[in-house]
A and B are shown apart, each in its own frame.
Chain A
Amino acid sequence: SAVISQKPSRDICQRGTSLTIQCQVDSQVTMMFWYRQQPGQSLTLIATANQGSEATYESGFVIDKFPISRPNLTFSTLTVSNMSPEDSSIYLCSVSGAGGNQPQHFGDGTRLSIL
């Protein structure tokens, strides 16, 4: 299975600032996903990032707030812009093969706290 490195693992940020989270995969993957997970809750999909096209955002998430880059098949970034305390959460990157019964494989997540 793919090995996913996510950086930073945690950060504490000031209100109004922005943070970019990086996701690096050790192999080429078609589909990359960004999730948000509030403490003790399930995963909420923010967007799907496919190389060569604009990210597809889920309802409630917009590009101005969560811009995503996917410059190649092994790397993606998620930026959390103009942060507020409500953005405090764990952000998870995951990847999946395109076909068959491919599961998603996850990075270790980024724990973000906004003061």
Chain B
Amino acid sequence: AQTVTQSQPEMSVQEAETVTLSCTYDTSESDYYLFWYKQPPSRQMILVIRQEAYKQQNATENRFSVNFQKAAKSFSLKISDSQLGDAAMYFCAYRSESYQFYFGTGTSLTVIP
């Protein structure tokens, strides 16, 4: 089975600074998708960004970008110009060829004013 590992239970960043959240995964599949979700205290899971494994170009959504290293099975999330509203739990997720989703254990991000 696929596994997703987030090795940073907690991270903090100064407002307006940049922070990188780490995620690694283990799979033998070649066709899969990777996602980052944000879960604020309101608890709704919100999609932040997605990456197709067959694409070499890293996905970017405004202040959010990923560093996808397929050979290393690494999928980190970079948040630039951090804002107070970015404070949340961030989950890395893997979608398999059979459409199963696997979530990491999450990273709690604190933004310091």
A residues in contact (CB < 8 Å) with B: 1, 31, 33, 41-43, 45, 48, 90, 92, 94, 96, 98, 101, 103-109, 111
Residue of B nearest to A103 (CB): B47
B20 near A: Cβ within 8 Å? Answer: no
Known A42-B104, A42-B106: A105·B47 in contact at CB below 8 Å: yes
Instruction: Report the Cα distance A96→B33, complex, angstroms.
Output: 13
Instruction: Report the Cα distance A94→B33, complex, angstroms.
Output: 17
Residue in contact with A41 in the complex, picked from B43, B44, B52, B105, CB distance below 8 Å: B105
CB-defined interface of B62-98 with A at 8 Å, one 1/0 digit per residue? 0000000000000000000000000000010101000
Residue in contact with A101 in the complex, picked from B33, B42, B93, B100, CB distance below 8 Å: B33
**How big is the B interface, by class?**
10 to 19
| B2 shortest CB reach to chain A, Å | 12
* Residues 39-70 of B at the A interface (beta carbon under 8 Å): 42-45, 47, 50, 52
Are B43 and A94 interface neighbours, CB within 8 A? no
B residues in contact (CB < 8 Å) with A: 33, 35, 42-45, 47, 50, 52, 91, 93, 95, 99-101, 103-106
Instruction: Report the Cα distance A111→B105, complex, angstroms.
Output: 19
A43: chain B residues within 8 A (beta carbon): 45, 91, 103
Instruction: Report the Cα distance A94→B103, complex, angstroms.
Output: 13
Residue of B nearest to A98 (CB): B99
| A31 shortest CB reach to chain B, Å | 6
A101: chain B residues within 8 A (beta carbon): 33, 50, 52, 95
In this complex, the member of B43, B91, B104, B105 whose beta carbon has the largest number of chain A beta carbons within 10 angstroms is: B43
Residue of B nearest to A44 (CB): B103
Known A31-B99, A45-B101, A101-B33: A94·B52 in contact at CB below 8 Å: no
Known A33-B101, A101-B50: A94·B106 in contact at CB below 8 Å: no
Instruction: Report the Cα distance A68→B33, complex, angstroms.
Output: 27
